A and B are shown apart, each in its own frame.
Chain A
Amino acid sequence: MSGMKTCVVLMSVLAVGWALTEKELQDSNYLKCNLESKVSEGEPILPNTEWIDIKDECVNLARKQIRMEFEAALAYLQLGSYFSQYDINRPGFAKFFLGAASEERSHAIKIFDYLLMRGQLTAYHSDPQLHTLIMGTSVNKSSELTKLSVALKKKEVNGGLEALNLALGFEVAVTRSIKKMIKACENDEVLSEKEKVLLSDNDGSIASNDYHMVDWLITDLLDEQLKGQRELAGRIATLYKMKDGYGQIADFLYDKKLLEELNSKAA
């Protein structure tokens, strides 16, 4: 009988010991990675969201704008590589368009920056269109980018003049889209029902006219767009006048001038 008792005691001691070691092992192996899920003592203290007063429609259009800027960047990359080819051999135009590609990317980053400043992009929604644009798993044959790539492959883009005209076309599309965004940000009409309720309940929680975003769009993005369009239009006009009567030599000379200009700007 006493043997039985000893046995039971021994086993329970062993069990408790095993459980304790197991717990200790678990604790020491536990790697806490996600800091935002921390609910140790009471509610986590996170900043309240009252300060976030940007309209949904504004955010949506800005996200679309980011996509558009990336699309323009890829298009310019294609044009840049086209002019780098040995049988085209226009280093000035190549440098111009590759520079434009990086510039479009920097515009997209600017918009990212603004949205981040206004408390956006905290949860990353999947953006299938951006995904398609960059990785291109589902081929969208009707996209402008594909059309351009097909035209370049067939060498249907004849020389710098046509490429500059294409570029001006992209810029005009981007400018229009920015103007659309400005309108949406200063209007009451685009408010969602939820936002309308918020506006009537507590004025200030939603900016019906987002003065700051509109101002930023105009003084920063739109300003750059308009100046860029003027530059392109000027180049087109000059090259067009040069080419009148002189085809190849005009392209050749203009390309060298462009290269020199860009090099001296960089230096």
Chain B
Amino acid sequence: MRTTLIFISFFVPSHPFPVRRGAPPVYSVVPTVGFSLFAVQEVVRKKIVRRFARRNFEVNVIILTFKMLFKVSVLLVAAVTLVNAVDSKDETCKPYFDQYCDKKPPYTDSSLRSCSPLYGAVDKRANQLRKYIKEHIGNSFEYLLQWANFNNYKKDREGFAKLYRKLSDDTWEDGIKLVQYLGKRGVELDFDSLIYQTPPQKYGAGPVGKSRSENEIVSLAKVLDLHKQLAISGNSLHEDSIKHDSLRHDGSSNLEVEHQHDIELAHFIEEEFAGKHAQTVRDLAGHSNDLKRLLKEGGRDDKKLDASGFYVHLFDEYLRKLY
């Protein structure tokens, strides 16, 4: 009885039935039913006592039945509360320790779970973040292949190679930063999803590792598209993380806040990615337009000699000094 009382006192004030966000509705329905039973039985008992005042024996039997019903409902409530308490990820931490500290019987290893750092809406953005990691790592590999492509003896474009290598290193570092970020905010990195998920390529670059030996302008254009995709994904992550929280009714007419807003996530994307991506995309677009003009002038037939090789070499020298 003492433990049941503890359970009741644990969740009666202000927030009657603490239910883990995203838990099946039955979790909130069962304790509600239990408590309604408890309230109803008091009323019914009084009625019964009045009506069957003369027949003491039957009254006693009925009262006993109701007592049993009450106990069963309390047990049910306790069981559901226990399930919720153990499973809770974003609920308060202290009641959980209150429940176990210095109590007998002692906890089992499986019943002791971790308190979580989850708050805000970062868990709702988990899949987007995982995809973002995947995109970073995929792009980093692609840039590396471009680096190798321009570093071979036939191409020998040191400037282009340096540009792509820098991009590849940067993107790889950012991927690792994102992995660390997931850890910081308490979102699990679904390992499978990291390896076995192809990000949507709106700016349709061919799959990584299947790139053919590409010429200078086409590779610049491709890398620009790939990087723009990174910037776009960052945009949508930010957009989703600054939505307003919404209120919704759960099954038992309780108002529950559905978190959409996550200031820290929005800040992280702004601080780490937004400015950098915009600058890189701008730089790449600028390079590709410069190179386009040079190719156009160099490759014209009204000149006796085709000068594009010469022009591209000069442009490569420029990139070499720049990066």
Would you give the shortest CB distance from B256 to chain A, in whole angstroms? 24
Compute how far the CA of A116 lies from the CA of B301 in the bound complex, rounded to whole angstroms: 34
Return chain A residues, CB-CB under 8 Å to B116. 86-87
Compute how far the CA of A103 lies from the CA of B153 in the bound complex, rounded to whole angstroms: 26
Would you give the shortest CB distance from B161 to chain A, in whole angstroms? 9
Return chain A residues, CB-CB under 8 Å to B215. 33-36
Asked if B184 lies at the interface with its beta carbon under 8 angstroms from chain A, I say: yes
Contact present for B309 and A131 (CB under 8 Å):
no
Asked if A258 lies at the interface with its beta carbon under 8 angstroms from chain B, I say: no
Size category, A interface: 35 or more
Contact present for B309 and A38 (CB under 8 Å):
yes
Selecting from B15-23, B32-40, B206-214, the interface stretch reads B206-214
Would you give the shortest CB distance from B289 to chain A, in whole angstroms? 12
Q: Which of A78, A84, A135 has the most CB of B within 10 A?
A: A135
Asked if B286 lies at the interface with its beta carbon under 8 angstroms from chain A, I say: no
Return chain B residues, CB-CB under 8 Å to A112. 144, 147-148, 151
- Contacting B183 at CB < 8 Å: which of A36, A81, A119, A127? A81
Asked if A92 lies at the interface with its beta carbon under 8 angstroms from chain B, I say: no
Contact present for B195 and A74 (CB under 8 Å):
yes
Compute how far the CA of A38 lies from the CA of B295 in the bound complex, rounded to whole angstroms: 13
- Contacting B207 at CB < 8 Å: which of A77, A121, A137, A148? A137
Would you give the shortest CB distance from B119 to chain A, in whole angstroms? 12
Give the residues from 176 to 209 in chain B that come closer than 8 angstroms, CB to CB, to chain A: 176, 179-180, 182-184, 186, 188-192, 194-198, 207-209
Interface residues of chain A: helix, strand, loop or mixed (majority)? helix
**Chain A, residue nearest B175 (CB):** A77
Contact code string A119-149 (vs B, CB < 8 Å = 1, else 0): 1111110111011011111010000011011
- Contacting B300 at CB < 8 Å: which of A27, A94, A123? A27
Return chain B residues, CB-CB under 8 Å to A146. 192, 195-196
Asked if A30 lies at the interface with its beta carbon under 8 angstroms from chain B, I say: yes
**Chain A, residue nearest B183 (CB):** A84
Asked if A153 lies at the interface with its beta carbon under 8 angstroms from chain B, I say: yes
Asked if B81 lies at the interface with its beta carbon under 8 angstroms from chain A, I say: no
- Contacting B184 at CB < 8 Å: which of A80, A84, A148? A84
With A84-B183, A98-B180 as given contacts, are A135 and B188 in contact (CB-CB < 8 Å)? Answer: no
Asked if B42 lies at the interface with its beta carbon under 8 angstroms from chain A, I say: no
Q: Which of A35, A101, A116, A149 has the most CB of B within 10 A?
A: A35
Would you give the shortest CB distance from B109 to chain A, in whole angstroms? 12
Compute how far the CA of A152 lies from the CA of B148 in the bound complex, rounded to whole angstroms: 33
Would you give the shortest CB distance from A121 to chain B, in whole angstroms? 5
Would you give the shortest CB distance from B147 to chain A, in whole angstroms? 8
Give the residues from 97 to 120 in chain A that come closer than 8 angstroms, CB to CB, to chain B: 98, 101-102, 105, 109, 112-113, 116, 119-120
Contact present for B149 and A121 (CB under 8 Å):
yes
With A116-B148, A131-B209 as given contacts, are A105 and B172 in contact (CB-CB < 8 Å)? Answer: yes
Compute how far the CA of A80 lies from the CA of B176 in the bound complex, rounded to whole angstroms: 9
Would you give the shortest CB distance from B44 to chain A, in whole angstroms? 47
Asked if A165 lies at the interface with its beta carbon under 8 angstroms from chain B, I say: no
Compute how far the CA of A77 lies from the CA of B191 in the bound complex, rounded to whole angstroms: 9
Contact present for A153 and B296 (CB under 8 Å):
no
- Contacting B154 at CB < 8 Å: which of A46, A87, A139? A46
Contact present for B192 and A98 (CB under 8 Å):
no
Return chain B residues, CB-CB under 8 Å to A1. none
Contact present for A135 and B138 (CB under 8 Å):
yes
Return chain B residues, CB-CB under 8 Å to A84. 179-180, 182-184
Asked if A21 lies at the interface with its beta carbon under 8 angstroms from chain B, I say: no
With A27-B300, A28-B300, A98-B176 as given contacts, are A120 and B192 in contact (CB-CB < 8 Å)? Answer: no
Would you give the shortest CB distance from B313 to chain A, in whole angstroms? 9
Would you give the shortest CB distance from B104 to chain A, in whole angstroms? 23
Would you give the shortest CB distance from A88 to chain B, in whole angstroms? 9
Asked if B114 lies at the interface with its beta carbon under 8 angstroms from chain A, I say: yes
Return chain A residues, CB-CB under 8 Å to B198. 135-137
Asked if B10 lies at the interface with its beta carbon under 8 angstroms from chain A, I say: no
Asked if A47 lies at the interface with its beta carbon under 8 angstroms from chain B, I say: yes
Would you give the shortest CB distance from B156 to chain A, in whole angstroms? 10
Would you give the shortest CB distance from A47 to chain B, in whole angstroms? 7
Asked if B80 lies at the interface with its beta carbon under 8 angstroms from chain A, I say: no
With A86-B116, A134-B209, A135-B209 as given contacts, are A153 and B144 in contact (CB-CB < 8 Å)? Answer: no
Asked if A31 lies at the interface with its beta carbon under 8 angstroms from chain B, I say: yes
Compute how far the CA of A137 lies from the CA of B188 in the bound complex, rounded to whole angstroms: 22
A-B pairs, top 7 by smallest CB distance, nearest first, are A84-B183, A32-B299, A149-B191, A131-B209, A87-B114, A136-B196, A81-B189
6 contacts between A and B (CB under 8 A): A27-B301, A32-B295, A35-B308, A86-B183, A112-B148, A126-B209
Given contacts A46-B154, A87-B113, A98-B180, 12 further A-B contacts (CB under 8 A): A27-B301, A47-B153, A78-B189, A84-B179, A85-B189, A86-B186, A101-B176, A102-B172, A109-B144, A112-B151, A116-B148, A135-B208
B interface residues, Cβ below 8 angstroms from A: 113-114, 116-117, 137-138, 141, 144-145, 147-149, 151-155, 172-173, 175-176, 179-180, 182-184, 186, 188-192, 194-198, 207-213, 215-218, 292, 295-296, 298-302, 305-306, 308-309, 312
